[in-house]
Amino acid sequence: MRYAMIGALAALVIVAVPARAQEPAATRPRLEELRRRVRERFAERIQQDLNLTSDQMRRLRVTAGTFGSRRRDMEASQRALRDALAGQLRPGIAASPDSVARLTDELLALRVRYAESFREEQAELAQYLDPVQRARLTVLRDRLVQRARDFRHRRPFLERRPPSE
């Protein structure tokens, strides 16, 4: 049950990130606090489930921070490229073949770099985690991402429900 709560909180944090700009400033400190708590709980779970030493956990935080930051930057670039490509492909407007080709090539190259970042991260993790720990870490991260996706897909339905009295 505790793990389900951690997953739900993590999903909430991941889903809440895009909506951040739409929230009043007064609620942002609460959101940041929730994010911090979810990160801490997830880190505790990782340390416990993988049986990591404090040194391994410290190194994992550095690695995850470095590669996570890189991938967030790539995700932002990917969104911008997709938006630009969608702008070129709007119905009723002639697309520029040169622009479409360039944007498509950039998008493909970015996806390759994104995948390569996982390989590089695994190589760095292999310096201080054994193969079983790395596999378990991957499973935990995948579960967290899947829970966030599931939550995101349920969210519109939940928002349409009338308030209970």
Per the CB < 8 A criterion, the answer to whether 11 and 148 are in contact is yes
Query: Is the pLDDT confidence value at 78 over 80?
Result: yes
Total count of residues recorded for the chain: 165
The rounded distance, in Å, linking the Cα atoms of 138 and 21 is 30
- Read off the pLDDT of each residue in 15-24 and give the average, rounded to a whole number: 45
State residue 35's pLDDT score. 74
Average pLDDT over all residues of the chain: 82
Tokens 């630009």 sit at which residue?
A: 84
Model pLDDT, residue 26: 58
- Smallest Cα–Cα separation from 64: which of 82, 51, 46? 46
> What is the mean predicted confidence (pLDDT) over 36-43?
86
Q: Please give the share of the chain, as a percent, with pLDDT higher than 70.
A: 77
Looking at residue 149, its amino acid is R
User: Please, what is the Cα angle at 39 between 38 and 41, to 5 degrees?
Assistant: 65
Calpha distance 4→28 (Å, rounded) = 24
